[in-house]
Structure 1
Amino acid sequence: MVKMVRWSGSLVRCLLLLVAIAFIYTQVRLFTAQSQYADKIAAAVEGENYCTSQMRLLIDQVSMQKETVVGLEEKVKRQAEECEQLRTLVQNLQRKGVKSLFQQVQVPVAAVVIMACNRADYLDRTIKSILKYHGNVASRFPVFVSQDGSNSDVRTKALSYDQLTYMQHLDFEPVHTERPGELIAYYKIARHYKWALDQLFYKHNFNRVIILEDDMEISPDFFDYFEAGADLLDKDKSIMAISSWNDNGQKQFVHDPYTLYRSDFFPGLGWMLSKSTWDELSPKWPKAYWDDWLRLQENHRGRQFIRPEVCRTYNFGEHGSSLGQFFDQYLKPIRLNDLPIDWKSMNLTYLIKDEFVKHFSGLVKSANPLYGTDLVLKINNIDGDVRIQYRDQQHFEEIAGQFGIFEEWKDGIPRTAYKGVVVFRYKTKRRIYLVGPDSLEQLGIQND
């Protein structure tokens, strides 16, 4: 019995030992399996990360290749347009004959450039107006059309005229405006002007250039007027440019087509400058708003501009970059001179700097002073010219508003002003002089 018990205990211990060994073996196998599974998971994660990085690298390479392709496509597009430009110029030269561009008996007075972009109908009207009076002076005033961009209608229209030379400005540089909300067009216009004037002064070597826009008609005496103006530019270096425009040139404010003035305000809209002036302006030409830039004292430096009483250009551009600003009120009513005046026979020495001060001060001094309010009503009771003194810009704007002339100032100068004096006709040939607070002193007139 005792032996049986002992044998049973030994058997139990053996069984427990076997179970323990089996359990340990199972745990070892399980641990080994888990380790192998963990290694496989780690390897799988590593493989996935590698695939992801390779995918990203591939995507980056594809993006770079795409950008390269886009860049190449843009380059091809530019080259195609440049090739088209060259083909056009070659055709232009072939049709006109290269010799005709250089076989000029006379040294030109000035090149005439029409600044165009995308208004073929306007350009056609402008060209026809110029050619109407151009025949007898073609050798003295060679005509160019400078197009900004690649509008095919404008290019075709310009090339359809044998009497002019076509230039094309292709500008692919992006435009960055300096202030939010600005129109890009004003920046592109400034770039075009600089390019065109550089071409005419430095490549074609003209001494003077007359700048027109593609929405202008000219007067019968346009070319004679600028030929006389060229002589003034040469004689008097205090004259910065000759203009064909009067901002207050509306029909109700002008009378005498023979009258010219000096002005401290740059008029624009059909003007001529010399190469020496462009040598100064070209290196610092502005990014935008070139006309207002020329009206700054730091740029005109006290030099003045010759302007007519009656305009020699008419601006019909109701639709354009300025979005028709002021068109109905100020541009549409402009009077364009219709008389063929012989400017060569006229004595214009009164426009020379020192002579004009004396000439103009005499006119202002002889005008009847007028004071108080209701100025328009009071003028009707006065015979002859009238002068009205304004205190400051606000006072000037009040008076100008009563008569309907331009109220705008730029850099402290009213439009058309000479030494602060704005002159215009009113209803008859009577002159009205709006006189600044120190204008009489500048003119050497004792205030009475």
Structure 2
Amino acid sequence: MADMARLRCPWRVGALSIGFSVAIIFFVLVEMHMFVTQQKYANRASFAVESEEGCQRELRKLGDKILTQQTTLFELKKFDGFWFVICNIVVMSGVDEKARLEEDNRVLGTELEDFQNKEQLAKISGSSKLGPVAAVVIMACNRPDYLERTLKSVTKYHKDVAEKFPLFVSQDGSNQDVMDTARSFSSVNFLQHLDENPPKTRNPGEIIAYYKIASHYKWALTQLFNKRDFRRVVILGDDMEISPDFFSYFEATAPLLDTDKTLLAISSWNDNGQEKFVSDPEQLYRSDFFPGLGWMLTKSTWEELAPKWPNAYWDDWLRLKENRKGRQVIRPEVCRTYNFGEQGSSLGQFYEQYLKSIKLNNVNVDWRSKDLNYLKKGQFNPIFNSLVSKAAIIPASQALTEANYGEGDIRVQYYSLVEFKYLAHEFGIFEDTKDGIPRTAYNGVIVFRWKGQKRVFLTDFFQQLDTIETL
């Protein structure tokens, strides 16, 4: 019996040893498989780190997860108890852990690929988190030569800001030369407005072009704001050249338009921007008069205006008090656009007298370094009021003499729009008014330069400066 016991004991030990050996081999194979799998994703993570600095924080998280899995796996080497029990634990736990780790690594690998794909997409699109500053649309119809001149001017400065200011040409009608011109510029997105129901004039003898223009504007702005969901749009005519700092000017003033609800738009134009009336390229003002000719508005303002958009004369309509609702426009002293459209729907109105001599800014102002908070209504009014109040009050009969030979800023009061037009004619500025508002006026004050640095303020006697709200 003792012999039989001795024979059975070695057999049991041998069997136990074989089972343990198998378990160990199986464990080693599992470990090697996991090492290869982990190495595969570790290589991918390494590639992502080298190729994109922005991925590093995410990849560190993934690396921490993999390291945790490795630690868990190696913890399985710590075992106690009977050999038979250990073999079962190793085998069963190894199988379960293998399946779990493979699934986790599959998920982590998918996350890594998705992250890399998103980073690559961001590279391709070049879009910032906030998206473009504004779409820029050039409104065109049937003047291919004018459009080409405008596009050459715009694209000269557009290349470096293409992602911030997507460029569009919106054509009204089917003039083939206009279409070919627009499409010859690679940076241009082309829109075409084909009116199935051409507008009709309300009164005999009216110029139908004004009706077509209003219809085209409504269609184009609807396309950009509602169909393409831009936050802001800058509108240009097909007869305009721009300044070197045109785009940075609009980028710098965009936040004002978003946050100051007393603003209707941002304009690049000064109606009294003739060379003899301007000097400071960094000076900006608020104005009750909507100038147009290169301007930016927001989607929220468009959603207010679109339902009641007029059939014609959209710019004069926008100048009505009922549509402005007490809001102003930011405008520069020196224009950021130049209008060369001598031939057009307005038949050259004002061109020779006022538009031809407009000064286009040629200084590349670094608007990013400028604090423009002074243009907010609560801060602008005290500053502006102080400038006007410090100017010497001069009788209208002596205005020109004092402007030519006196020193310092002058202030000339007018008592009616008739008297304003007389003074405007004497100095040579725009005499035109819309809904009782002179061009460039702010609370009845029209400001322009005279002989370089001197300011001339034409002020409405019945609009006292201390009545201008400062809140």
Q: Assess if the C-alpha contact under 8 Å between 1:423 and 1:433 holds in 2.
A: yes
Q: Which of 90, 103, 108 is the equivalent residue of 2:125?
A: 103
The 1:372–1:321 alpha-carbon spacing in structure 2 relative to 1, beyond 3 Å, is: closer
User: 1:441: how far off?
Assistant: 3.9
Residue by residue over 1:316-372, the C-alpha shift from the partner in whole angstroms, topping out at 9 and shown as x without a partner, is 000000001110111110000001111010011110011111010010011011014
**Structure 1 residue 285: Cα displacement:** 0.2
Output the CA distance in 2 between the equivalents of 1:442 and 1:133. 43
| Rounded Cα–Cα distance in structure 2 between residues aligned with 1:365 and 1:319 | 42
Note the 1:428-447 alignment, pairs <5 A.
428-443=452-467
The answer to which of 104-113 and 375-384 deviates more is: 375-384
Q: Does 1:268 align with 2:255?
A: no
The CA deviation at 1:156 is: 0.6
State the TM-score, normalized to the length of structure 1.
0.76
CA deviation after TM superposition for structure 1 residue 443, in Å:
4.9
**2:380 corresponds to:** 356
CA distance in 1 between partners of 2:147 and 2:189 (Å): 14
Residues 223-275 of structure 1, C-alpha deviation per residue, up to 9 Å, x if partnerless?
00000110111121111100000000000000100000000000100000000
Q: Kindly tell me: are residues 286 and 380 of structure 1, through their superposed partners in 2, closer, same or farther at Cα, counting changes over 3 Å?
A: same
Contact 1:367–1:387 (8 Å) recurs in 2: yes
Q: Cα offset for 1:175?
A: 2.5
Alpha-carbon displacement from aligned partner over 1:121-150 (angstroms, at most 9, x marks no partner): 100010110111111111000000000000
Alignment correspondent of 2:238: 214
**Matched residue, 1:24:** none
| Higher alpha-carbon deviation: 425-434 or 190-199 | 425-434
Question: Counterpart of 2:137 in 1: which secondary structure?
Answer: strand
Task: Give yes or no for contact 1:144–1:165 (8 Å, CA) kept in 2.
Answer: yes
Structure-to-structure mapping, 1:145-164, within 5 angstroms: 145-164=169-188
Rounded Cα–Cα distance in structure 2 between residues aligned with 1:128 and 1:441: 44
Check if 1:414 corresponds to 2:438: yes
Match of 1:195 among 219, 229, 250: 219
Q: Tell me, yes or no, if structure 1 residue 397 matches structure 2 residue 433.
A: no
* Cα separation, 2, equivalents of 1:401 and 1:344: 38
Counterpart code for 2:303: D
Q: 2:277 aligns with which of 236, 253, 266?
A: 253
> Within 1, Cα distance between the matches of 2:171 and 2:468?
48
2:243 aligned partner, one-letter code:
S
Which residue is 1:284 aligned to? 308
Q: Distance in 1 between matches of 2:396 and 2:292?
A: 34
Can you give the 5+ residue segments of structure 2 that lack an aligned partner in the other structure? 1-120
Give the distance between the partners of 1:155 and 1:327, measured in 2 at CA: 27
Separation of aligned partners in 1, 2:379 and 2:370:
16
What residue identity is the alignment partner of 1:144? F
Alpha-carbon distance in 2 for matches of 1:140, 1:372: 48
Q: 2 CA distance for matches of 1:428 and 1:135?
A: 34
Check conservation: 1:361, 1:443, Cα contact below 8 A. no
SS of aligned partner of 1:439: coil
Structure 1: segments with no counterpart, 5+ residues: 1-98
8 Å CA contact 1:357–1:443 kept in 2: the answer is no
Q: Which residue of 1 aligns with 2:399?
A: 375
Quote how far apart the aligned CAs of 1:173 are: 1.2
Deviation larger for 134-143 or 366-375? 366-375
Structure 2 residue 347 is the aligned partner of structure 1 residue 323 = yes
8 A contact 2:334–2:359 mirrored in 1: yes
Instruction: Give the Cα–Cα distance (whole angstroms) in 2 for the partners of residues 444 and 118 of structure 1.
Output: 45
Aligned length: 347
Q: Equivalents in 2 of 1:303, 1:444: separation in Å?
A: 13
Say yes or no: does 1:346 pair with 2:370. Answer: yes
Provide the C-alpha distance between the structure 1 equivalents of 2:287 and 2:462, rounded to a whole number of angstroms: 16
Amino acid paired to 1:329: Q
Matched letter for residue 452 of structure 2: T
Q: Is the 8 A contact 2:443 2:468 kept in 1?
A: no
**Whole-angstrom CA distance in 2 between matches of 1:290 and 1:335:** 26
After superposition, give the CA deviation of every residue in 1:35-94 in whole Å (9 maximum; x if it has no partner): xxxxxxxxxxxxxxxxxxxxxxxxxxxxxxxxxxxxxxxxxxxxxxxxxxxxxxxxxxxx
- Partners of 1:120 and 1:330 in 2: how far apart? 25
2:161 to 127, 137, 159: 137
- Aligned residue number for residue 228 of structure 1: 252
Distance 1:368 1:208, change over 3 A: same
Q: CA deviation at 1:374?
A: 4.0
Q: Report deviation, 1:377.
A: 1.6
Structure 1 201/372 Cα, relative in aligned 2: closer, same or farther at 3 Å? Answer: closer
Which has more radius of gyration? 1
SS at match of 1:157: helix
In 2, distance between residues paired with 1:404 and 1:250?
10
Query: Aligned equivalents of 2:323 and 2:126: distance in 1?
Result: 35
Give the residue type in structure 2 aligned to 1:167.
Answer: L
Partner of 1:179: 203
Does 1:332 pair with 2:352? no
Give the match's secondary structure for 1:146.
Answer: strand
Deviation at 1:440, TM superposition (A): 2.5
Deviation at 1:179, TM superposition (A): 1.9
SS at match of 2:397: coil
Match of 1:296 among 320, 323, 330: 320
1:425 aligns with 2:456: no
Contact 2:211 2:313 in 1 (8 A): yes
- 8 Å Cα contact 1:424-1:431 kept in structure 2: yes
Amino acid at match of 1:396: F
- Aligned with 2:464: secondary structure? helix
SS in 2 for 1:380: helix
Distance 1:331 1:360 in 2: 27
Secondary structure of 2:258 counterpart = helix
Partners of 1:386 and 1:297 lie apart in 2 by: 29
Residue 442 of structure 1, CA deviation: 4.5
